[in-house]
Structure 1
Amino acid sequence: MALLDTDLSLARDSYYAATAPRGADRPALQGRIEADVAIVGGGLAGLSAALELAEHGRRVVLLEARQVGSGASGRNGGQAIHGLACSMGQIEAQLGLDEARRIFAMSIDALALIRSRCARHGIDCDWRDGFLGVAVQEGKARGLYDDAERLERLYGWQQRPIERADLPNWIASPRVRGAVYDARSGHLHPLKYTLGLARAAEQAGAQLFEHSPVTALVEGPEPVLRTTQGEVHARQVLLAGNVYLQGLVPALQARIMPVGTYIVGSEALTPERARALIPCGAAVCDNNWVLDYYRLSADHRMLYGGRATYSTLTPLRMAEGLRQRMVQTFPQLQGVAVAYAWGGFVDVSMNRAPDFGRLPARGHVANVYYLQGFSGHGLALTGLAGQLVAQAMAGDAERFDTFARLRHRPFPGGAHLRTPLLVLGMAWYRLRDSFW
């Protein structure tokens, strides 16, 4: 359980936790309970599924090991962006262009789903339109514009290329060499959104239990989830815990890796000073393999993320290191203090494509579903994934199975060597980012 302990310590100074009051904790599961669907994981994917299922009259029980939204769902960069973490070329190579187009269109549906849920359920999560993809090297700027042109030509997704001379009107950073603007993506306060989804799911009739880590899954025609103090008997199960499943299903765990990512929040700036940094108000992310991402909060702080680690160890002087990267990107922030510093783990698959499917069943219909592998690009897609798996559980699996056809391999090296091998591989990509 060391990973959980490390991750918990990274959450203590979260800007999101400081600005989104939770209220009282939900109770832990006690005794035996029955449900149509039992869900493991109180993040965006699990909550989205719980909401969809409960709204369609299913008896839903959700088990969360800590608190709802305590993992990546409540601590991420807050950027809701079109597409997937992997390139669409990766999807084309496996499924062909037509199916890749279907998957890309669903990523756009995921953005619309956030907006519609916020409106329908009265979720105030500081949503703001706009995403700016940027490059910090000349070669990567050419790649950025080429990728945008390909996305428009093959997928019909239009973004605005920003001319070099016009860059200061969009982002006031001397590092940026190129940019494309997407008006239909955006950014939000992820914990406010996650807690809003939890309230909506409960209002629809779902039962949510916190501080209820699942210790065993008993598969069969009516699977059982066991905790230290109770158990849930269900007709169907959804595993939506990602890297926090802690070995519950070893075959799934082998296909994802926990990757640490970290964020600092500056002290509050004046509205004018904040607006001068990113005049377009968009969320920003560069196109390096090991990337930086940043945006302005609703109360005019710079939220700056990056410094990904692949060893589960928090970088030394993490907050100071990110502050220096922030100042490198925005020299105007020299002397501005860091008020918050936090981090957590995202689940990354080998090919960075999402990994959805069902566990193999013996002698009965497959009834244990899973959602994982969002690879740091899940703020919007997790919501759609919950909707897709709810539809599949109700008998309409067409959209879910489009994703389920993607092939995934375990990370090489087994339980002991896969982390060192990944660290070495990412060192190579960092070096490549420096020169290209």
Structure 2
Amino acid sequence: MTTPSHTTSYYAASANDKSLRASLNEDITADVCVIGAGYTGMSSALHLAEQGFKVVVLEANRIGFGASGRNGGQIVHSYSRDIDFIEKHYGKHTGTEMGKMAFEGGRIIRRLVDQYNIKCDLKEGGIFAACNSKQLHEMEQKKALWEAHGHNQLEMLSEDSIQNHVGSSRYKGGLLDKSGGHFHPLNLVLGEAAALENLGGVIYEDSAVTRVQEGDKAVIFTDKGSVTADFVVVAGNAYLGGLIPKLEQKAMPCGTQVITTAPLTDAQQKELLPQGNCVEDCNYLLDYFRLSGDGRLIYGGGVTYGAREPDKIESLIVPNMLKTFPQLKGVKVDFAWTGNFLLTLMRLPQFGRIGSNIYYAQGYSGHGVTSSHLAGKVLADAIQGQAERYDIFAGLPQYPFPGGRALRIPYTAMGAWYYTLRDKLGI
């Protein structure tokens, strides 16, 4: 029998808790069974356990095995489509209500870190860096939009002032979000898992779900056991596979690549990111970077559609890193990995119910860190009978990709090529 393990990431190598939980090998009962031990699953489980629910979590691999333990570790607010797009396409009421929730995910993360004393190197401040004048104007519009929805911790950065935050000549300015931030993503979800267990929740690893039987009491089967539960939360996201065919048709797994350098000197760290902020640029296929707690540069970007594993991650990301920071030429890369996120056609999250008691949330389209924590709270509220906010999300249309499974990858790649060309031309 092979013991499940994390990908060969910096996060896995520096995880606070490397212990393996038992797998499920019996038939048990619970109030709620959560499928997937990532951010959506842990946030749902933890919010429910705080209200006294008996919660069991089934994870096919390890806690945080998927995007939750591999991502860039940045607190970025709102959704992959911003509030003005939502209001324009789905109505003022939907836009207003989703606007009220757009900045809640970051607050949930900070509340959990503080309340449960989670050690995850949380640091404050994030920057959207503009590569051209068009993007800088868009950041001015974002600032006005977010302030209209009550978010007032924003500051525009000129081409000169961004140099105080990012030691690169690549940017024309940017937007500083003082309520943004960054952290060690795997240690966050591991800390959430420990908090859940302290509240009586149980997590089984190496326990892939093979079938979900609908009914007044749902039955969730693994190879060696089962959970009979009043409610089910489906939180597998890009790692759900074909377990729920209805959900597989609505979204597409996509990969993003990340590298981590060897530890940098204090002088190098101060030169690259003097204030310690995390950064993402404003391109469609964006780059994102930050310093780790032990002084490494974590740099990510790129997309592979269909979640295939690229052959040489370093060859994809190092040129981008050197374009931003040419002073790092020759620096050693200690870690390189990829992770999958789930893309939807409209780039908005997909929430819904299957029958009366199976809930799902997926498809954050690159904005999963904060949106998944919000989803967990909203899911937990819905299971407790307070479904108004959940139904706002569930009311968004969920379209399949045109052309079905065979054509969704080339169609999406063509769209990405178009927007990348626009980024390069600054139009």
TM-score, normalised to structure 1, is 0.93
Q: Deviations over 1:218-265 (max 9, x none)?
A: 111111111111111111111000121211111111111111001100
1:339 equivalent to 2:334? Answer yes
Letter in 2 for 1:398: E
Once the two structures are superposed, the pairs formed by residues 22-33 of structure 1 within 5 Å of their partners are: 22-33=17-28
Once the two structures are superposed, the pairs formed by residues 130-209 of structure 1 within 5 Å of their partners are: 130-153=125-148, 155-209=150-204
After the TM superposition, list the runs of 4 or more consecutive aligned residues in structure 1 that deviate by more than 4 angstroms. none
Query: Equivalent of 1:290, from 285, 289, 307?
Result: 285
Query: Equivalent of 2:109, from 114, 134, 137?
Result: 114
Distance 1:381 1:312, change over 3 A: closer
Query: Equivalent of 2:276, from 276, 281, 290?
Result: 281
On the 8 A contact 1:39/1:61 being kept in 2, the answer is yes
Distance 1:232 1:321 in 2: 43
Q: % of aligned pairs identical?
A: 39
Q: Which runs of 5+ in 2 are unaligned?
A: none
Query: Equivalent of 1:367, from 327, 340, 357?
Result: 357
Q: Which runs of 5+ in 1 are unaligned?
A: 1-7
Q: How many residues align?
A: 423
Cα distance, 1:127 vs. partner?
0.4
In structure 1, the residue matched to 2:417 is 427
In structure 2, the residue matched to 1:3 is none
Cα distance, 1:393 vs. partner?
0.4
Cα distance, 1:155 vs. partner?
4.7
Query: Equivalent of 1:379, from 359, 364, 369?
Result: 369
On the 8 A contact 2:158/2:172 being kept in 1, the answer is no
**Which moved further from structure 2: 15-24 or 207-216?**
15-24
Q: Deviations over 1:300-356 (max 9, x none)?
A: 111000021113223342213311211110111112111111111001111111111
On the 8 A contact 2:153/2:178 being kept in 1, the answer is no
1:314 equivalent to 2:303? Answer no
In structure 1, the residue matched to 2:343 is 348
In structure 2, the residue matched to 1:104 is 99
Query: Equivalent of 2:352, from 351, 357, 371?
Result: 357
Distance 2:266 2:208 in 1: 43
On the 8 A contact 1:257/1:347 being kept in 2, the answer is yes
In structure 2, the residue matched to 1:325 is 320
Distance 2:7 2:106 in 1: 29
Cα distance, 1:156 vs. partner?
4.5
1:408 equivalent to 2:363? Answer no
Q: Deviations over 1:64-122 (max 9, x none)?
A: 00011010001100001111111222211244334423323323222111111111111
In structure 1, the residue matched to 2:30 is 35
Distance 1:398 1:413, change over 3 A: same
In structure 1, the residue matched to 2:43 is 48
On the 8 A contact 1:27/1:210 being kept in 2, the answer is yes
1:70 equivalent to 2:65? Answer yes
In structure 1, the residue matched to 2:261 is 266
TM-score, normalised to structure 2, is 0.95
Letter in 1 for 2:365: S
Cα distance, 1:154 vs. partner?
5.2
Letter in 2 for 1:432: R
Structure 2 residue matching 1:175: 3-state secondary structure: coil
Distance 2:407 2:246 in 1: 16
Distance 1:87 1:247, change over 3 A: same
Letter in 2 for 1:222: K
In structure 1, the residue matched to 2:119 is 124
Letter in 2 for 1:374: Y
Distance 1:311 1:432, change over 3 A: farther
The alignment's C-alpha RMSD in Å is: 1.7
Structure 2 residue matching 1:391: 3-state secondary structure: helix
Q: Deviations over 1:262-318 (max 9, x none)?
A: 110011111221022111211101111111111111111110000211132233422
1:226 equivalent to 2:216? Answer no
